[in-house]
Amino acid sequence: MVFFDLKKTMLDPEGSYLAALGLLDTIQNHFAKATTFGGLELGAVPAVSQVCALSHQLGQPLPAFIVRKTVKDHGTQAAIEGDLPAGSKALVFDDVTTTGGSAMKAIEALRASSGVEVIGVVSLVDRLEGASEAFKAQYGDAFGFQSLFDKSDFTDLI
């Protein structure tokens, strides 16, 4: 079994910058209609924040959102943090995609939010354990899924 701990990469200055560049490139090439980018806490927070900041710097702003795993019982009690106006086309991020379960939790929270259309999922690494097939089965063939790398990009090296 291969374990991918991408939090160290996403919390490193060079790693987070390179991941954000790769994610923005993937978004522009495969999900150009996306108007917001986010995912489930905690895994999505570093990359989503970096992509949001870098998109502004590059003059192509892509607002971010974070889906809470559990809603706080104080404050705004919001399940989703960030601005998601009606008509938003949301793209969900998952650092490592295995079966798609984490991304699907975020997708279902977004779908419950009025007027938000989820157009796909992007991840840094696809473990090739069924996420792509699960997304198609659950959301249809038009639903997009892209990863920057997959498990074989790393395991073929060892």
Which residue range(s) make up the domain with 143? 9-149
In a domain, 155, yes or no: no
**2 lies in a domain?**
no
In a domain, 73, yes or no: yes
Domain tally, the chain: 1
Question: What CATH number is attached to the domain comprising 20?
Answer: 3.40.50.2020
158 located within any domain: no
In a domain, 131, yes or no: yes
Residue 137 lies in a domain: yes
> Residue 97 and residue 105: Cα distance in Å, rounded?
13
Q: Report yes or no: 128 and 99 within 8 Å, Cβ to Cβ.
A: no
Q: What is the DSSP letter of 33?
A: T
Q: Give the pLDDT confidence of 95-131 residue by residue, as tens digits.
A: 999 999 999 999 999 998 778 999 999 999 999 999 9
pTM higher than the cut 0.95:
no
Q: Is residue 157 part of a domain?
A: no
Q: What is the pLDDT of residues 46-80, one digit of tens each?
A: 999 999 999 999 999 999 999 998 776 666 667 89
